[in-house]
Amino acid sequence: MSAEVLAQGRQVYVDQCASCHGAGLEGQPDWKSPLPSGRLPAPPHDANGHTWHHPDDVLLRIVKEGTAAIVGGGYESDMAGFGDVLSDAEIRAVLAYIKSTWPERERSYQESVSQAN
Domains of the chain, start order:
3-116 (1.10.760.10)
> How far apart (Å, rounded) are the C-alpha atoms in residues 33 and 43?
10
The reported pLDDT for the residue numbered 117 is 73
- State the average pLDDT over residues 59-86: 93
Query: Phi first, then psi: what are they for 57, rounded to 5°?
Result: -65, -35
Query: Phi first, then psi: what are they for 72, rounded to 5°?
Result: 70, -165
The reported pLDDT for the residue numbered 47 is 95
pLDDT digits (tens, 9 = 90+) for 89-100: 999 999 999 999
By CB atoms closer than 10 A (0-12, 13-18, 19+), residue 19 is: exposed
pLDDT at 87 over 80: yes
pLDDT digits (tens, 9 = 90+) for 7-63: 999 999 999 999 999 999 999 999 999 999 999 999 999 999 999 999 999 999 999
The reported pLDDT for the residue numbered 58 is 95
